[in-house]
Homo-oligomer: A and B are copies of this chain.
């Protein structure tokens, strides 16, 4: 790095003290002629205040952190674009990290952000409360987007309890103090309504054996699925993959193989939807003739698919933007959670049930 123009240089060139320059540049009081002179000199010297000095003095880094599971997942790409748009309009830097859905990597990245004194963070969490404790203990302002951390794994956890709890969250009620609930604001889609709409739509087409294909972080959607179906759902009709495309494909394949009687699938995310299409094709199941498919997430390629995919769209970009707003404007008080609407977009991947 070349020798940098510092505030001292500007002060000398303008014949004033450094304090005055600082005041002028950060909007403090100064006489008009001084202000003008300082600004002129600063411009002439092409002076840029060093964020390093400022941050050290203020004991905080400007900007915010952003943690997502995977940038090749279009949905997280959209979410990130939203965050970046908001940050850009505020002129703030964004430090990004990709966790791969792995709590351990997530913890490492949190540690890295802590070292950087990044004190505001937007995250699509992969770990549980324990993973997030260090960040909160250090006083970070955290906003969760798209999902909430899974509860710590207590031995007495059963899916039903988890479901009820999570659905309460969805309605904006304070979570029942189960385990160690994190008091962190969040921006999520209305998964409950979105899934419900999808299930009702499929039922309206006559489907009765509907499966849910989820990925990491789709617990809330799975719970909403069970609730929307109403009657108890066979456990092997709700399957989970681990995040990678391979795992999603394997989960989809084994679902189709183990339950040849199913007539419809709800995929909990675009990677899962992709896997479902691929697996169905491989097994010679035609969509929607043999099996109907609704995918959570709208992505540009859903329309290109054969057939075009019926989806539950959630506003990824807005989600990111709102989360960034929240994390920036959080003036000490805990902001309200934000729940964004979803929309069922009917294309061609669902048909009436065939006997």
Contact = CB atoms under 8 A, between A and B. Distances in A.
- Assign chain A's interface to a size class: 35 or more
Interface string A271-310: 0001001100000000000000000000111011111000
Interface stretch (A71-79, A170-178, A235-243, A255-263): A71-79
A55 interface: yes
Given A78-B72, A305-B306, A306-B305, A139 B84 contact: no
Contact of A94 (B53, B95, B117): B95
Scoring A60, A81, A105 by chain B CB atoms within 10 A of each residue's CB, the highest score goes to A81
B278 A117 contact: no
Interface string A9-21: 0000000000000
Nearest to A75: B72
A45 interface: no
A122 to B, nearest CB: 13
A116 interface: yes
A51 B81 contact: no
Contacts of A138: 1-2
A23 interface: no
A61 interface: yes
Contact of A139 (B2, B94, B105, B277): B2
Interface string A52-82: 1101100111010010001111100110110
Interface string A95-108: 11110000001001
